[in-house]
Structure 1
């Protein structure tokens, strides 16, 4: 009997999806959105997830909507028969059995981002301004969204932050433009996307435990570089990070797309940068060969740390590529506020400043945070994800008053400190083996207080993921802040 099912690679928003058999692997936020909207389009959906915790309600709802749901251990070991497409939630390793089986059978494997791109409305598809990088993605995207809104545009932050992209593109009220954050996980199985403009902020060690093969950092960088493929207007790169420029040079972009650098120094032609304390544009003005246009000052930003200024320049570059005015850049950045757990001052007490940067979940982010403080008592540790801390410790050892270590992979940091900063006092509070009378963060704050002196900053910048001890980096930061408030009498 002839197979009359439509070829899934040809389908879009206005096509009939009846007869398409889709498997959605994982139904967290993005996976649920993918399954829900595939059902809405008429596809037959099987949703799989190994981890039932907190997902029972979503599973019940998907079943009510018509999906076949398999929840619990072992449910993702075998790909069901007769599958036309597999949509994998972020974080699924490329060598996971389910994905490997799909590829061996020739079944297309899509990220939720890939599905979203294919489901854009051809009559009102909003352009995507996309951002990736090891650090600074969320801040840059939120800055970009603030700038676009200041320009009077209907914008939304989506992707790895904010709403799932499938949900955004299926919204019946179309947006003018999307500010899109993308992780390497999301980009790995994204092929069709053609962002209007895109930025890679930086490349540093992160998620190396996720990538197999002899060159995990190279594979990680290659996934980041996918964001530049098919770009229409501008590929924004970091002048201080040659790897980002290399990714631009190797990208296959649309005719007329430009490379636009951002720098904390004096910008050359085709760049954005700083002239003293002024953020300026020499890329999107006609007289860029001889002058620069003022966008805003460092005082207009919510902080003056170098990584924050760099994020603002990248956001401004993407907004200017979209045609946003200088005034809108300034107004958007003036009104912007940092998200919680990002270099957030928790308390100032007895001459000591306590800062929560729990969102610094890799060494590169921790380095940027540490370089903004001196002297500093550094709180670090958690899940290192295969990263090395030698370079970080070499760079900051002269500003360390002391270090407090916690979490599963704290020994990786302790060994780097022993090699490169042997005179710095270190207190190891363990992997969380504390009794009910004292939570891990209570011991951390207590230890940090014994090391800190007036004029110091105590900085939670773990350089590691949180899931060994805490449900999320946000929970880790909240527990730190609560312990600090109790310690300083501000609770």
Structure 2
């Protein structure tokens, strides 16, 4: 194979393939390639107890595993298949480039292997963006199911694409969440239709620049056949559509929280409407659903629903299925999740808001907020976020390692807002944070956990942080009952 492109019909028998990384993508990739006769070597940086147990399972199948050495390209390697998180500047990939060896991600491998075994490959409806990907993909899957289609929400959402394309279940269409990492390593992916929900600085340490990050996101539009869906409120997403090389006849479809123009979906008088997939885009608009059918009906979630609806309509789904799918959808935990009302104060868990862009959307959903924020800033700045939210803030409770950065932004841009600075990073700090937030709140307020930061300074992940918040709220609710 060498530097030549590997086709989906390649005879894998005896081909030397290196799989970079054990884990949710590496292990299925190694197994799939081994089953097709490839000579597979797995390399992994870590050499802990879990890695050794995974290695033993693969070695029992006849797969070679090298632990503690993910930097060296094994001799005779003809293809590298990498876990999406491995950075492009790793020595392994530099050596592959020098040797003319192609590098694929697990998404690329799944794309190349789909349809093997004689069955018709399911089209992909793909979603990427800085925030909202998982919610939009799950909304899309719910709409497709309501239309009677065999589908699944797969990709970066946690369900392996390899398992989806190689498993026993035959699908009519797949709702695919793709991260910028996955898109970077997927050069031949060609979706039926795709959406970029939004673009904001994120993972810049991995990509090297905002331009490189945006370019990888834009790969999702390459070769689209029916629709490239963009956010009319985020011109950078429309720019990516303009730059994409698509199939003839593929259309640019915008979504907006305002009244839609031709070839857009939008909102009119509390109704989600379609002026893109109708017979006369200049004069017609098709009602799809009511804003109240979206759960929760926060502005950014309505935008997610419009993007999902656009992709479903591009696939030919009828309006009634859009409505029924949105009504049936239930958001994942820790995404603007209403926990309880205590004394006419709502308590909302949006622990998934781990960056400023997501938190900006979360804060915009409520009129009067006691904001619980802080954690690991990951290089973020907070001036713009605080400036935009200042008028909505009743008070702020700060937790976590980098809370001083948010406090300083509040001092500069919202000096009148009361701030409680909790000088502790233990997991018990959340109970105190909820208690202090309750003291600041007034009837009609929302106590909102939207940290704008990662969680690992205090918690294993954002799920554990959200659970700690919800537990503290429920304990207060029991006390007040």
Q: Provide, for residues 216-247 of structure 1, a one-character-per-residue CA deviation record: whole Å limited to 9, x for no partner.
A: 22221111111001111100001111000000
For residues 53 and 398 of structure 2, the distance between their equivalents in structure 1, rounded to whole angstroms, comes to 37
Query: In the alignment, what sits opposite 1:324?
Result: 317
1:424 aligns with 2:417: yes
For residues 450 and 59 of structure 1, the distance between their equivalents in structure 2, rounded to whole angstroms, comes to 52
Which residues of 2 match residues 256-405 of structure 1 at below 5 A?
Answer: 256-405=249-398
| TM-score normalized by the length of structure 1 | 0.92
Confirm or deny: 8 A CA contact 2:108 2:187 kept in the other structure.
yes
1:18 aligns with 2:13: yes
For residues 297 and 194 of structure 1, the distance between their equivalents in structure 2, rounded to whole angstroms, comes to 32
For residues 33 and 172 of structure 1, the distance between their equivalents in structure 2, rounded to whole angstroms, comes to 15
Query: In the alignment, what sits opposite 1:448?
Result: 437
- Name the SS of the counterpart of 2:25 in structure 1: helix
Change (3 A) 1:327 1:456: same
Query: In the alignment, what sits opposite 1:165?
Result: 161
Query: In the alignment, what sits opposite 1:176?
Result: 172
For residues 90 and 448 of structure 1, the distance between their equivalents in structure 2, rounded to whole angstroms, comes to 39
- Name the SS of the counterpart of 1:346 in structure 2: strand
Change (3 A) 1:261 1:276: same
The Cα shift of 1:337 comes to: 1.0
Confirm or deny: 8 A CA contact 2:199 2:236 kept in the other structure.
yes
The Cα shift of 1:96 comes to: 2.3
- Name the SS of the counterpart of 1:65 in structure 2: coil
For residues 240 and 87 of structure 1, the distance between their equivalents in structure 2, rounded to whole angstroms, comes to 36
Change (3 A) 1:483 1:391: same
Query: In the alignment, what sits opposite 1:226?
Result: 219
Of 132, 136, 139, the match for 1:140: 136
- Name the SS of the counterpart of 1:126 in structure 2: coil
| TM-score normalized by the length of structure 2 | 0.94
The Cα shift of 1:203 comes to: 0.6
Query: In the alignment, what sits opposite 1:466?
Result: 455
For residues 479 and 50 of structure 1, the distance between their equivalents in structure 2, rounded to whole angstroms, comes to 32
Greater Cα offset, 398-407 or 108-117:
398-407
CA RMSD, Structure 1 to Structure 2 (Å): 2.0
1:253 aligns with 2:249: no
Q: Provide, for residues 401-444 of structure 1, a one-character-per-residue CA deviation record: whole Å limited to 9, x for no partner.
A: 22222233333322322222223222333462x4xxx6232333
Change (3 A) 1:352 1:255: same
Aligned length: 477
For residues 370 and 153 of structure 2, the distance between their equivalents in structure 1, rounded to whole angstroms, comes to 34
1:86 aligns with 2:75: no
Of 209, 225, 238, the match for 2:205: 209
Change (3 A) 1:455 1:114: same
Of 149, 155, 163, the match for 2:145: 149
For residues 310 and 59 of structure 2, the distance between their equivalents in structure 1, rounded to whole angstroms, comes to 44
Greater Cα offset, 219-228 or 463-472:
463-472
- Gaps (5+ residues) in structure 1? none
- Name the SS of the counterpart of 1:29 in structure 2: coil
The Cα shift of 1:7 comes to: 7.2
Change (3 A) 1:450 1:102: farther
Greater Cα offset, 227-236 or 440-449:
440-449
- Name the SS of the counterpart of 1:27 in structure 2: coil
Greater Cα offset, 254-263 or 473-482:
473-482
Change (3 A) 1:106 1:423: farther
Query: In the alignment, what sits opposite 2:66?
Result: 70
Confirm or deny: 8 A CA contact 1:8 1:20 kept in the other structure.
no
For residues 166 and 322 of structure 1, the distance between their equivalents in structure 2, rounded to whole angstroms, comes to 22
Confirm or deny: 8 A CA contact 1:207 1:387 kept in the other structure.
no
Query: In the alignment, what sits opposite 1:47?
Result: 42
Greater Cα offset, 458-467 or 101-110:
101-110
Confirm or deny: 8 A CA contact 1:8 1:85 kept in the other structure.
no
Query: In the alignment, what sits opposite 1:36?
Result: 31
- Name the SS of the counterpart of 1:489 in structure 2: helix
For residues 332 and 421 of structure 1, the distance between their equivalents in structure 2, rounded to whole angstroms, comes to 41
- Name the SS of the counterpart of 1:299 in structure 2: helix
Change (3 A) 1:325 1:53: farther
Q: Provide, for residues 229-278 of structure 1, a one-character-per-residue CA deviation record: whole Å limited to 9, x for no partner.
A: 11111000011110000000000111111000111111111111111111
- Name the SS of the counterpart of 2:225 in structure 1: coil
The Cα shift of 1:32 comes to: 1.8
Confirm or deny: 8 A CA contact 1:63 1:69 kept in the other structure.
yes
